[in-house]
Amino acid sequence: MEARAQEAVVYGYAPRARKNEATEVDPITTEVVRHGLISAAEQMKRALIRTAFNPIIYEVLDFAVAIYDRQVRLLSQALGMQHFMGRLSFGVEASVAAVGGEEALEPGDILFYNVPYLSGAHANDAAVLMPVFVEGELIGYTAITAHWLDVGGKDPYSTDTVDVFQEGTLFPGVKLYRRGELDDDLYRTLLANCRVPKLLAGDLSAEVVGLRVGAAAFAKIVDRHGRGVFESVVERMLDHGEATVRAFFERIPDGRYVARATLDSDGVGEDEVPFDVVVEVAGSSVRVDFSGVPDALRGPLNCPQPGTVSSTRMALMMLAGGGDAPNDGHFRPIEVVTRPGSMFHPLPPSPCFLYGWPFLQSTEAMYHALAQANPDIAPAWSGGDILTIVWWGNREATGEAWADASPHPIGQGASARGDGANALMHHLQSATRFSPVEVWEARDPWLVEKVELAPDSGGPGRFRGGLGVDFVFRVLEDLNITAVIERTKNAGPGLVGGGEGRANGATIVYEDGRRVAIAKDTRVPLSKGTVVELRCGGGGGFGDPAERDPEAVLADLREGYVGEEHARRWYPHAFASA
């Protein structure tokens, strides 16, 4: 194929020429400004949550807010969808270029884009950005990306698209506001291509509020400290972030480490999709190589290059960042290699709607690869998925269109430090959550009949894998769902002799008693009375189960985390004295 002939590309940072001004500010001033920037991002987040219409934003936190400097370097962000953070910069740069560059920007402008190859996501993860000025001079940008429930694709959420044009209306970097005035023609076009325009209008207004709140706070920081001090602080902040990550990788033996991940399917076929992730550590730098992965898939499990870069950065940052809030400096030691035309660097018009599912697996593979160098630094595989279900239809009483969506939690992998956590979101979504049952039942036409930790779902080991969760939903009105459930065929493996966790799965139970398994399925009609059972997988175990503390086994048995049959099978030593 033509894509095979294209050479791999390396995305990383060139060494920066060190400047004396980075040492001209003291650490106290640096911390004051750094925390001021973090506070500004938190203000953006609060404004967005308080004004959004869509629970996937204000409950699930499926968004990112960030502040960038004039060079489009990440300065601060607030906890939300982690993997969004490192890719917003790609869209900011592309959108600014699309409208004519910096010289075309004016105070009050707001730009909008959602093209997957610019954003690194699917079209529903739309982004808005605002240039920020102080005394007429551009100082940087505030940016927000959030999941919109519908942007005019063939379905609100799809597992079976075969080109990007089926996935939604595309906006390639355009001015939504000019000098503070809304472009009404563009705004009406946007709403006209949405099945739930009221929700979209409310969420877009909330994002605009968030941008403006952040811009005001950002400008105040620069005005208070002065442009020169601010710029020196930024260099010092980024240098510190770089040093933190480099210190982590210096402790890992140099080498080339490889791990394999496998997707259940590409969404339109039934065949599994295996791929290798190569992690190369050299001194204080790390390179993650995706050049050997398959060509772009026929179905929508392709991850655009910005998403590949971002997810790789954030996955490694969570290991190496020392708990710091990330900035662009943390990314400097990381190089990402992709091959244009491949599933981790698709080219137009390759479908990208399920872009997130490949990098959920690549994250687990990266951790597994690094565990070959040192098993103490990374966990075993988690449940490896977010088990998304998107629901939509027309309300029975009013006929009004509605939609909702949520990810779901999985068991985390155990590590050298202890048992895996129960029922948390995947690493790259660990700051998000699923909606409270009370919100679901107040807004949506279903009852939640079960939300329970699943006994025996964590992999056995010296340290046990975290438990998954069982959900049962009973449908109260006719509706449609799209399900995206990965790792139904391959459970998450353990480390150093630990056992695998439970695989993911879902079943529709019809009123006539039929049980039908679903995984990647689009627009499945469900009638009133149908039940949806969701089985969220568990994490892999760490170490030989024979080494587990007998008291820990008996405690798990008392708490209901394991059943007696499971306990006696994997931990017979705990019953030896009984």
- pLDDT tens-digit readout, 333-379: 999 999 999 999 999 999 999 999 999 999 999 999 999 999 999 99
pLDDT at 155 exceeding the cut of 70: yes
CB 539 within 8 A of CB 484: no
Q: How far is CA 24 from the centre of its chain?
A: 37
pLDDT at 266 exceeding the cut of 90: yes
Strand ranges (E), 43-183: 63-69, 74-78, 110-113, 125-134, 137-147, 172-178, 181-182
211 plus 62 within the same structural domain: yes
Mean pLDDT of 185-192: 97
CA distances from 45 to 41, 77, 143, 251, 280 (A): 6, 9, 11, 36, 36
Q: What is the mean pLDDT of the chain?
A: 94
The answer as to whether 345 is a domain residue is no
Mean pLDDT of 45-66: 94
Q: What is the pLDDT of residue 16?
A: 55
Sole residue written with tokens 């291509």: 193
Q: Omega into 349 within 30° of 0, i.e. cis?
A: yes
Model confidence at 84, pLDDT cuts 50, 70, 90, reads confident
Q: What is the pLDDT of residues 117-143, one digit of tens each?
A: 999 999 999 999 999 999 999 999 999
Please state, in angstroms and rounded to a whole number, the distance separating the CA atoms of residues 118 and 400.
34
Model confidence at 81, pLDDT cuts 50, 70, 90, reads confident
* Domain final residue pick, 221, 238, 255: 238
pLDDT at 536 exceeding the cut of 50: yes
3-class SS string, 149-194:
CCCCCCCCCCCCCCCHHHCCCCCEEEEEEECCEECHHHHHHHHHCC
Model confidence at 5, pLDDT cuts 50, 70, 90, reads very low
Model confidence at 18, pLDDT cuts 50, 70, 90, reads low
Mean pLDDT of 187-204: 96
Please state, in angstroms and rounded to a whole number, the distance separating the CA atoms of residues 291 and 246.
24
Model confidence at 578, pLDDT cuts 50, 70, 90, reads low
pLDDT at 2 exceeding the cut of 90: no
Mean pLDDT of 206-229: 97
Mean pLDDT of 245-270: 97
CA distances from 370 to 240, 292, 360, 544 (A): 23, 18, 16, 20
What is the greatest pairwise CA distance in the chain?
A: 79
If one counts every other C-beta atom within 10 angstroms of the C-beta of residue 170, the result is 18
Task: Calculate the dihedral angle through the C-alpha atoms of 340, 342, 386, 74, rounding to the nearest 10 degrees.
Answer: -10
The residue with greater pLDDT, 80 or 68, is: 68
Please state, in angstroms and rounded to a whole number, the distance separating the CA atoms of residues 384 and 57.
22
Boundaries of domain holding 128: 13-238
The answer as to whether 45 is a domain residue is yes
Percentage of the chain exceeding pLDDT 70: 97
Phi and psi, residue 49, nearest 5°? -60, -40
Sign of CA dihedral 86, 90, 93, 99: negative
Residue 396, helix vs strand vs coil: coil
Please state, in angstroms and rounded to a whole number, the distance separating the CA atoms of residues 127 and 145.
4
State the amino acid at position 304 in one-letter form. P
Q: What is the pLDDT of residues 484-502, one digit of tens each?
A: 999 999 999 999 999 999 9
Model confidence at 313, pLDDT cuts 50, 70, 90, reads very high
Please state, in angstroms and rounded to a whole number, the distance separating the CA atoms of residues 271 and 484.
16
The answer as to whether 430 is a domain residue is yes
Q: What is the pLDDT of residues 322-333, one digit of tens each?
A: 888 889 999 999
The answer as to whether 415 is a domain residue is yes
* Domain final residue pick, 199, 218, 238: 238
> Could you tell me how many residues make up the chain?
578
Q: What is the pLDDT of residue 223?
A: 96
The answer as to whether 521 is a domain residue is yes
Phi and psi, residue 494, nearest 5°? -90, -175
| DSSP one-letter string for 536-564 | ---PPPBS-GGGS-HHHHHHHHHHTSS-H
If one counts every other C-beta atom within 10 angstroms of the C-beta of residue 336, the result is 25
Mean pLDDT of 39-52: 97
Model confidence at 428, pLDDT cuts 50, 70, 90, reads confident
Q: With 0-12 CB in 10 A as exposed, 13-18 as middle and 19+ as buried, what is 42?
A: middle
Cβ neighbours for 92, distance < 8 A, ≥ 6 positions apart: 68, 72, 129, 141, 143
Q: What is the pLDDT of residues 22-32, one digit of tens each?
A: 447 899 999 99
The residue with greater pLDDT, 235 or 16, is: 235
Instruction: Tell me the two tokens of residue 501.
Output: 């966790």
Percentage of the chain exceeding pLDDT 90: 90
Q: What pTM, to 2 d.p., does this model score?
A: 0.94
The answer as to whether 193 is a domain residue is yes
Model confidence at 20, pLDDT cuts 50, 70, 90, reads very low
The answer as to whether 322 is a domain residue is no
Number of domains in the chain: 2
* Domain final residue pick, 238, 253, 275: 238
Q: What is the pLDDT of residues 460-479, one digit of tens each?
A: 999 999 999 999 999 999 99
Sole residue written with tokens 């990098």: 359
The answer as to whether 324 is a domain residue is no
> Which of 77, 29, 490 lies closest to 310, judged by CA?
77
CB 561 within 8 A of CB 540: no
